Structure 1
């Protein structure tokens, strides 16, 4: 099904195997602020290398998996099957960086990240700059042979696990003044501090704090690409991450459908399996149909990237799959809670956890509304035939 090769299926199976090993630990994580016992976490991380799941999106010459976009989607789909972010360590370092990193950046940050020895986070979003990063007001001022960075960033996901951060700011002077630049900032660094660490709906061991950058000094060697290139890298990151969000949503929906179907088949009400009650069966049927549509769309769009489809079309289809798959997963989660009934409202139940966790998928990496704006603009410029 879906035209997957033998190699694709083998990679998918290995990722699923890791997920199956972690699923029994979900309730423990829920009760312990998203954390696993240290020995379990260490064993799981070792399995990433054993199963060939390390940095699937990075070139083989850097130590990555050198996988196709379709294969990356297949792996992240399995990551999405597991609640509490327990498979987030199956990481995908910034793919765009491989093409622009200097030799120093490659050896200092990129190669160790691919090897799993270092980890990153992004400081882009601000209080007044969410889905549209053009509204960023954080600044980067040239001073001597380096830059001084200032700004307050919100939702800096995985900050507590990172040892360096990407900071995007507006250049205040020079030929590219008003343009954006992206910098690497090691953690800890003087001037970088957590303002507050808000609690979120989900129970993950990955925090999303508000982080202040106060007169943070970095050398010019920490700038990625040229002055004014920052938005280019952000757009590439958003495009990639929208595929990964869509993949994880498909994985979550698939897990929910399996669990809800098994429960409805075994639960007997009035002498009849719950799944034979038409209103319950209809919810499962709708979920199956939407999952099939979402997965088919996602795989086709990923193949388009592998085939070198026009970059503007890739961008539009990334928005399309992120929009549809995230909203589909939300509907499936809502139905699953309903099928489980009172059990579905208990935190020990997979449907309850996904009901909370999946809500953010319609927000981060660009809200559903932003995806619709992008798609409408592309329809106006290119017509439906180019996108569909």
Structure 2
């Protein structure tokens, strides 16, 4: 089904087997701020590497798995079946980096990350910019052989477990003044501090603090690419991450369909199975149908990327995939809570956890409203036939 090759199915099966091992740890993570017992996470991460499920999006030239986009989607889809971000050990380092990394970045940051020895985070979002990257206030000023960085970044996901940061800023002065640049910065560099660490709806071990950069000095060797390239990397990252959000939403919806179907089949109400109640059947049928439609869309977008579709078309299609899949998963989660009834409101229940966790998929990497604006803009510029 879905035209998957034997290699695709083998990779998918390996990812499913590993995520099946992660699922029993969800309730412990939920009860312990997302954390697992000592040694468990490291063991599972090593298992993911041994199974070839890490750095799937990275070329073999830097030690990655060299998978197709569709294959990366298949792995991330299985990761989406697990709550509490336990499947984030299925790493996908920045695929745009190998082409532009200098020798220092390659040896110090990139290669160790692909090997699983280092972890990155992104300091891009700002309080008043939201999804509009063109409105950043953070600055970078060239000073001899260094750059001096200033700015306050919000929602710096995984900051507490990362050891280096990608920092995006507007260049102040020089030939590219007003354009954006991206820097890779050691987290322990002087001038970096956590302003506060807000509590979020989900229960995961990766925090999203507000982080201040005050006169942080980094060598010019830690400029990624060239001055003015920052937006191109951000756009590529957003295209990729939007597709990965869509993939994980497929996995979440599949898990929810399976769980609520099984519950409805076994639950007796007045001598009848809950699954035989027509209103419940309607929720199950709608959920399965929407999952089928979303999966078909996401796989097709992934195949287009592998075939080299025009980047502007890809931008719109990745937005379509994220928009439809994240909205779909949210509806499925809502139905699942309803099918489980009071049980669905208990944190020990997978429907309750996904109901909370999936809400952010309609916000981060560009809110649903932003995706709609991107899609409509590309429709106006390119027409329906180019996008479908």
TM-score (norm 2): 0.99
Query: Which residues of structure 1 form unaligned runs of 5+?
Result: none
Q: Secondary structure at the match of 1:97?
A: coil
Q: Secondary structure at the match of 1:161?
A: coil
Cα RMSD after superposing both structures: 0.6
Partner residue, 1:208: 208
- Whole-angstrom distance in 1 between the partners of 2:30 and 2:306: 37
- Within 5 A, what are the aligned runs for 1:78-227? 78-227=78-227
- Whole-angstrom distance in 2 between the partners of 1:42 and 1:144: 42
Contact 2:146 2:217 in 1 (8 A): yes
Partner residue, 1:54: 54
State the Cα deviation string for residues 181-201 of structure 1 (Å, max 9, x = none). 000110111100000000000
Partner residue, 1:263: 263
**Stretches (4+) displaced over 3 A:** none
Q: Secondary structure at the match of 1:99?
A: coil
- Whole-angstrom distance in 1 between the partners of 2:380 and 2:61: 41
> Does structure 1 residue 243 correspond to structure 2 residue 250?
no
- Whole-angstrom distance in 2 between the partners of 1:282 and 1:362: 24
Q: Secondary structure at the match of 1:332?
A: helix
- Within 5 A, what are the aligned runs for 1:299-310? 299-310=299-310
- Whole-angstrom distance in 2 between the partners of 1:132 and 1:319: 15
Query: Which residues of structure 2 form unaligned runs of 5+?
Result: none
Partner residue, 2:372: 372
- Whole-angstrom distance in 1 between the partners of 2:366 and 2:92: 19
Partner residue, 2:382: 382
**Would you say how many aligned residue pairs link Structure 1 and Structure 2?**
388
State the Cα deviation string for residues 132-176 of structure 1 (Å, max 9, x = none). 111101000111111100000000000001000000000000000
- Whole-angstrom distance in 1 between the partners of 2:112 and 2:50: 18
TM-score (norm 1): 0.99
- Whole-angstrom distance in 2 between the partners of 1:224 and 1:42: 30
- Whole-angstrom distance in 1 between the partners of 2:139 and 2:105: 22
- Whole-angstrom distance in 1 between the partners of 2:175 and 2:26: 52
Contact 2:83 2:353 in 1 (8 A): yes
- Whole-angstrom distance in 2 between the partners of 1:243 and 1:31: 30
The Cα shift of 1:244 comes to 0.4
- Whole-angstrom distance in 2 between the partners of 1:222 and 1:59: 21
Partner residue, 1:316: 316
State the Cα deviation string for residues 45-95 of structure 1 (Å, max 9, x = none). 111122111200000121111000000000000111000000101110000
Q: Secondary structure at the match of 1:379?
A: helix
